[in-house]
Amino acid sequence: MPENSSSSQTGTLPNNQLGAQLSVLIVDPNPGVRANLQNMLAQSGVTRVESAVNASTAIKALGRKSFDIILCEYELGSGTTSGEGQDGQQLLEDLRHHRIIPPWAIFIMLTAEGTYGKVVSAAELTPTDYILKPFTVQVLHERIQKAVARRAALLPVYQLIAQARPREAIDAAIESARTRPGYALDFARLRAELHASLKEYELAETVYRDVLAAKPVGWARLGLARAVAALGRMDEAIPLLERIVADNPRLMAAYDLLARCQQEMGDAALAKKTLENAVAISPYVVRRLRRLGEVALETGDADGAEKSFRQVVTRSRYSEFRNPEDHVNLVRALVVKGDPAAASTVVRDLERSLRGTPAADACRSISVALLHDAAGDGAAAVKELKQAVGAVRAGGALSPTMRVGLAQSCLAHRLDDEAAEVVLGALNGDDALSAQQALNVFVRAGRPDLADGMGKQLRAQAQILLGVADEKRNMGDVRGAVQTLLEALHMAPNNLQVMIAVVGGVLRQIMEMGWDHPLAALSEEQLEHIRALDPAHPRLAALDAEMAAAKRKYGIST
């Protein structure tokens, strides 16, 4: 995230002036419109104004510094030499997803577009506001004034969140709701989201239910469904989401969560239908189209997968964050359909437009291997798979799902070492596979021998990490020791020695550095796991006593 260059705290603003301290980025391809907007802002006292002509130049500008306000035209395509490019909705999607703008940035969409689907798509990606053209200076002034006042009220909580101080942010939200009752719902929403980020889903559920008892707002219903789903109560979450969708068909995120819940319950076909309904209403969100393509492939709907991934590739073409894996998935769908000529065209597009990075090289080789396999040329496929593994080894960052697919292809060609290397790499990162998911790759491929070998390797790595954690603890790095212990637990989740070490390390950190609800919950979960595996373990009673002592120290109810 770029350095925050402006931290305006303006609350109630003069009727005729917004404030010279505000910084604004205008994103519009038309020089006349940019000049007119700058003149309108000047009439409201805003003089710190910069411009960008398209999504790409906007992302570069926002990478250099932050702006208080982004005024963005929906139709940005004419700002590119080809007359095409990302629109404002796609730009906002990238800015939010890649965290290029801070949560307190004000993003206002300017559009004369009356197409229903586009308006819904833009609205669901939470711009602060959107203004339909034409509009007057007074309308622009009032909308910005309202957004700045809200931002000023919420900014202290946002800043605590940015400083990784979620507990203090929750306390600040509670106090601010008392002193700024006009924004009480906004503070309640922040509190619930903070509890959810700390995996305190029961507390998030309570906040959402309290809000709903006072006012039936859509975001609180959706938040409640998210909390319930996170607690594993799918039988409650699914009907709740179905009611939300029925009552508010434009609340698009509800479809996404409903599809995920349906898929987790094993009904991929129903999940696909839910996503299709969502895309019919809001057809312009790339991540949803991508998800629909993935589910379509899972259910064997090659035509649906091709349609979705082709749209993803097309709509992402002008993004600064194009993902070469989309090309692989489109190739996979075309191969399943039996259309190698179209698949070859997709590969050439990948080579032409995304070459030069290890990830793109890996995806190109995976795609070509799929074509060779379809043609029955196993030797050529093996050559490409080895090149793909080499590109991953050279730093090609692939998603866990793509790594699993690559490993499965390697196993099909008896490239056992390459498959093991690729799967091991999928154990790291934000969306890492669990140890059991990694082992299941080999079990499903009919290779229990490789699963056993990897299990032994993971246990050996866990033992090494226990030693590293001991060294960190001896050097006084208690937090670092706990993080290393958690890595060991990820490698060997059912290892008694690792579980005992994790609980002991976490309790030591809590006693020295303060109560940490997610870590405490993890420790209690591990204690129950230890109890189930070995109720007579000699360390169990002592760890139970340490947990009770920590709760007493911090006044945590049992």
* Residue 333 domain flag: no
Contact (CB, 8 A) for 369 and 409: yes
In the sheet with 129-132, reading across from the earlier edge strand, the strands are 48-52, 23-27, 69-73, 106-111, 129-132
* Domain-embedded: residue 459: no
Residue 489 region by backbone torsions, left for phi larger than 0, else alpha for psi between -120 and 50, else beta: alpha
Give the pLDDT confidence score for residue 118 in this predicted structure.
Answer: 58
How many CA atoms lie within 13 Å of 551's alpha carbon, on the beta-carbon side?
Answer: 13
CA 349 remoteness from chain centre:
27
285 lies in some domain: no
Specify the pLDDT at position 83: 45
Consecutive H or E run containing 72: strand 69-73
DSSP codes, 424-438 = HHTTSSTTPPPHHHH
For residue 81, what pLDDT is reported?
A: 43
Phi, psi (rounded to 5 degrees) for 131: -120, 125
Pair of tokens at residue 512:
């020295």
Using alpha carbons, select from 92, 129, 75, 105 the residue that is nearest to residue 287. Answer: 92
Looking at the DSSP bridge assignments, the partners of residue 69 are: 24, 106
Domain boundary (164, 184, 213) is at 164
Let me know if residue 236 belongs to a domain.
no
- Residue at 384 is within a domain: no
The answer to whether position 318 is within a domain reads: no
CATH number for the domain harbouring residue 546 = 1.25.40.10
pLDDT, position 517: 79
Among candidates 68, 71, 61, which has minimal Cα distance to 108? 71
Residue 266 burial (C-beta neighbours within 10 Å; 0-12, 13-18, 19+)? exposed
pLDDT at 34: 94
Helix H or strand E encompassing 106? strand 106-111
Amino acid at 329: N
| In-domain check, residue 429 | no
pLDDT at 355: 77
User: What is the pLDDT, as a whole number, of residue 89?
Assistant: 78
Q: Give me the domain span that covers residue 468.
A: 464-554
How many Å apart are CA 396 and CA 498, to the nearest integer? 31
Report the pLDDT value the prediction gives residue 1, as an integer from 0 to 100. Answer: 41
Q: What are phi and psi of 19, to 5 degrees?
A: 125, 125
What pLDDT was estimated at residue 557? 63
Of 251, 263, 253, the closest CA to residue 296 belongs to 263
For residues 204 and 196, the answer to whether their CB atoms sit within 8 Å is yes
Query: Residue 271 and residue 288: Cα distance in Å, rounded?
Result: 12
CATH number at residue 124: 3.40.50.2300
Query: Residue 125, Cβ neighbours under 10 Å: how many?
Result: 23
Total structural domains in the chain?
A: 2
pLDDT value at residue 10: 38
Q: What is the pTM of this model?
A: 0.79
pLDDT confidence of residue 6: 37
pLDDT of 356 reads 78
**DSSP letter at 59?**
H
How would you write the pLDDT of the chain (558 residues) with one tens digit per residue? 444 333 333 333 344 556 668 999 999 999 999 999 999 999 988 989 999 998 889 999 998 998 999 999 988 865 444 445 677 877 887 888 888 998 888 999 888 756 545 555 555 556 788 788 888 999 999 999 999 999 999 999 999 998 888 889 999 999 999 999 999 999 999 999 999 988 889 999 999 999 999 988 888 999 999 999 999 999 999 999 999 999 888 788 899 999 999 999 999 999 999 999 999 988 877 888 999 999 999 999 999 999 999 999 998 887 777 899 999 999 999 999 999 999 999 999 999 988 778 999 999 999 999 999 999 999 999 999 999 999 999 988 899 999 999 999 999 999 999 999 999 988 877 678 889 999 999 999 999 999 999 999 999 999 999 999 999 999 999 999 999 999 999 999 989 999 999 999 999 999 999 888 788 889 999 999 999 999 999 999 999 999 999 999 888 765
Full DSSP string of 357-385: SHHHHHHHHHHHHHHHHHHT-HHHHHHHH
Cα–Cα distances (Å) from 188 to 45, 194, 203, 392, in that order, read 33, 10, 12, 44
pLDDT at res. 167:
86
* Domain boundary residue, one of 145, 164, 183: 164
Is 455 exposed, middle or buried (CB count within 10 Å of its CB: 0-12, 13-18, 19+)? middle
Tokens 């990478």 belong to 63
Domain boundary among 164, 199, 226: 164
Q: Cα(150)–Cα(186) distance, rounded to whole angstroms?
A: 9
In a domain, 309, yes or no: no
- Smallest Cα–Cα separation from 251: which of 231, 281, 276, 280? 281
